[in-house]
């Protein structure tokens, strides 16, 4: 079975061809980083226009590399949400129209679920129950999966996403875009204990995240002139800033592990490319005997393979979309964090 997976939820245009749910025959990822660099962040209208310009050639290239024709595709898949609505609609309309014109099935997948599936695409031995964290420029969300495809949202950011504050502070300092990799590079030789950032405490927040306080603290250090792009303490400052983000992520994972007894942890999304995060999460989970699965850096970022793979799994489990289905910019209505009381029940069940 051949699946074409298309991803356009933010600023990457990607198409991948997947055979029999395991062999990636081709994957093209076109990044708009250079286009958004002058603004220090993704400009939604520019992103959707760029998708319109490029999507046709990205798909053609993916077909060519896979050595197949459009008529060979059995299932057409794309990202349905959440994401930038203009960007999503380009991929969604393009994919749905192709499927309709060829009378083939069509599936729109959830972007965050697809990020998690990138780990299963690369490793088919992941044991359930699973705790999964998606940490990117647009999202910081935690899921509990008791069994395959059973995604339960148990925590999400109340304000900014982790990648978003890395991008914003890097923009404010003038250290480059995207901020995550730029900061990681400078922070490498810095002292992470030099500058103080407190871990956010969210009253009644359960497993939710909050990054806006850390962003404001970093902003004030810069605004008051304590640190600048030119100062000798820049690497210490950025190492401390990066550490505070990782500390918050790890502290929430550990909180979740008090409620949910899991065998595996998945960390995915653009920020999961960060080597310090990968290292620290792995060390902490080793100590708890929990196996950690972090996709390869290429598959942490937005890509068509994860879309094709999730759509394949949904399709063989009997799901497909109707022609009247639509894209959605935010979490689907009704998809709220499950409460701690229900998580307590889950813990009891696995005792
Ligand atoms: O998953 P992604 O490609 O797009 C979204 O869905 O948001 O993630 C992009 C985010 C950006 O905020 C970028 O700064 C961050 O991932 N990022 C990193 C690294 N590489 C990308 N953050 C920390 N360290 C990195 N090496
Ligand atoms: Zn993403």
For residue 178, the ligand 1 atom closest to its alpha carbon is 14
Question: Rounded to 5 degrees, what angle do the CA atoms 277, 273, 160 make?
Answer: 75
User: What is the pLDDT at residue 343?
Assistant: 47
As to burial, measured by CB atoms within 10 angstroms (0-12 exposed, 13-18 middle, 19+ buried), residue 202 is: middle
| Atom of ligand 1 lying closest to residue 162 CA | 12
Answer yes or no: is the C-beta of 302 below 6 A from any ligand 1 atom.
Answer: yes
Q: Label the pairing between strands 140-145 and 75-81.
A: unpaired
The DSSP 8-state label assigned to residue 130 in this structure reads E
- Cα angle 131, 133, 134 (rounded to 5 degrees) comes to 150
* pLDDT score at 345: 44
Please report the pLDDT score of residue 251 as a whole number.
95
- Do 78 and 320 touch, CB atoms closer than 8 A? no
Asked whether the beta carbons of 254 and 285 are under 8 A apart, the reply is: no
Quick check: CB of 163 below 6 Å from ligand 1? yes
Closest by Cα among 46, 50, 8, 47 to 29: 8
- Of 180, 266, 267, the residue with max ligand 1 atoms within 8 A of its CB, to mutate for a pocket test, comes to 180
pLDDT at 265: 98
Regarding the beta carbon of 295 and ligand 1, being less than 6 Å apart is answered no
* Contact by Cβ (8 Å): 15, 68: no
Strand order across the beta sheet in which 151-156 lies: 151-156, 140-145, 130-135, 264-268, 291-293
For residue 145, give Cα distances in angstroms to 80, 107, 128, 257: 21, 21, 7, 13
Q: What separation in Å is there between the alpha carbon of 300 and the centre of ligand 2?
A: 8
At 341 the pLDDT is 45
**What per-residue confidence (pLDDT) applies to 330?**
81
Confidence at residue 92, expressed as pLDDT on a 0 to 100 scale: 97
Q: Nearest Cα to 14, choosing from 294, 298, 333?
A: 298
Choosing from 162, 165, 238, 271 the residue with most ligand 1 atoms within 8 A of its CB, the one to mutate for a pocket test is 271
DSSP result, 132-190:
EEEESSS-EEEEEESSTT-EEEEEEBSS--HHHHHHHHHHHHT--SSHHHHHHHHHTTS
What burial class does residue 245 get, using C-beta atoms within 10 Å of its C-beta: 0-12 exposed, 13-18 middle, 19+ buried? Answer: buried
Token pair in block for residue 53: 């310009």
What residues contact 132, with CB distance under 8 A and at least 6 apart? 116, 119, 142, 143, 144, 145, 151, 265, 266, 267, 268
Helices 275-288 & 179-187 angle (0-180, nearest 10)? 80
pLDDT of residue 288: 94
**Which-ligand-closest: CA of 47?**
1
pLDDT at 268: 98
115 alpha carbon, closest ligand: 2
Write the CA distances from 269 to 115, 136, 300, integer angstroms.
6, 5, 5
Q: Which residues of 17-56 are buried (b: 16+ CB within 10 A; e: fewer)?
A: bbbebeebbbbbbbebeeebeeebbbbbeebbebbbebbe
pLDDT score of 348: 42
Within the chain, residue ranges assigned H as helices are: 33-36, 44-66, 85-101, 111-122, 162-173, 179-187, 212-223, 234-259, 275-288, 297-300, 304-316, 340-349
Is residue 178 lining ligand 1, measured as CB closer than 6 Å?
yes
- From the CB of 136, is ligand 1 less than 6 Å away? yes
Tokens coding 127:
């044991």
Token pair 């999964």: residue? 132
pLDDT of residue 279: 98
Beta carbon of 297 within 6 Å of any ligand 1 atom:
no
**pTM for this one?**
0.93
* pLDDT digit string (tens) for the chain, length 351 residues: 999 999 999 989 999 999 999 999 999 999 998 999 888 888 999 999 999 999 999 999 999 999 999 999 999 999 999 999 999 999 999 999 999 999 999 999 999 999 999 999 999 999 999 999 999 999 999 999 999 999 999 999 999 999 999 999 999 999 999 999 999 999 999 999 999 998 777 777 789 999 999 999 999 999 999 999 999 999 999 999 999 999 999 999 999 999 999 999 999 999 999 999 999 999 999 999 999 999 999 999 999 999 999 999 999 999 999 998 999 888 654 455 554 444 444 454 444
- Got the DSSP string for 67-96? T--GGG-SEEEEEEESS-HHHHHHHHHHHH
Compute the distance from residue 270 Cα to the ligand 1 centre, in Å. 3
- 184 touches ligand 1 (CB under 6 Å): yes
């Amino acid at each position: 079975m051949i699946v074409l997976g298309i991803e356009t939820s933010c600023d990457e245009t990607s198409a991948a061809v997947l055979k029999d749910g395991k062999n990636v025959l081709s994957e093209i990822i076109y990044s708009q980083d250079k286009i958004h660099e002058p603004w220090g962040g993704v400009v939604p209208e520019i992103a959707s226009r760029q998708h319109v310009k490029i999507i046709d050639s990205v798909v053609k290239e993916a077909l060519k590399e896979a050595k197949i024709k459009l008529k060979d595709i059995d299932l057409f898949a794309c990202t349905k949400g959440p994401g930038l609505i203009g960007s999503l609609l380009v991929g969604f309309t393009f994919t749905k129209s192709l499927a309709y014109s060829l009378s083939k099935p069509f599936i729109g997948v959830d972007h965050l679920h697809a990020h998690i599936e990138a780990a299963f695409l690369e490793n088919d031995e992941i044991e359930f129950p699973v705790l999964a964290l998606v940490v990117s420029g647009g999202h910081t969300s935690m899921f509990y999966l008791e069994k395959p495809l059973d995604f339960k949202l148990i925590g999400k950011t109340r304000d900014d996403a982790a990648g978003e504050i890395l991008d914003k502070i890097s923009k404010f300092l003038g250290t480059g875009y995207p901020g995550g990799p730029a900061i990681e590079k400078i922070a490498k030789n810095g002292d992470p204990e030099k500058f103080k950032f407190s871990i956010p405490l969210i009253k009644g927040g359960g497993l939710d995240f909050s990054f806006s306080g850390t962003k404001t603290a970093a902003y004030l250090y810069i605004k008051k002139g304590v640190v600048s792009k030119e100062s000798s303490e820049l690497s210490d400052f950025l190492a401390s800033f990066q550490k505070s983000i990782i500390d918050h992520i790890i502290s929430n994972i550990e909180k979740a592990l008090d409620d949910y007894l899991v065998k595996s942890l998945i960390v995915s999304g653009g920020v999961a490319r960060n080597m310090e995060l990968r290292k620290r999460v792995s060390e902490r989970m080793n100590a708890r005997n929990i196996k950690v699965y972090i996709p390869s850096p290429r598959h942490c970022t937005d890509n068509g393979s994860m879309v094709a793979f999730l759509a394949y799994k949904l399709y063989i489990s009997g799901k497909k979309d109707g022609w009247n289905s639509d894209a959605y910019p935010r979490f689907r209505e009704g998809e709220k964090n499950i409460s701690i009381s229900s998580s307590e029940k889950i813990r009891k069940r696995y005792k």
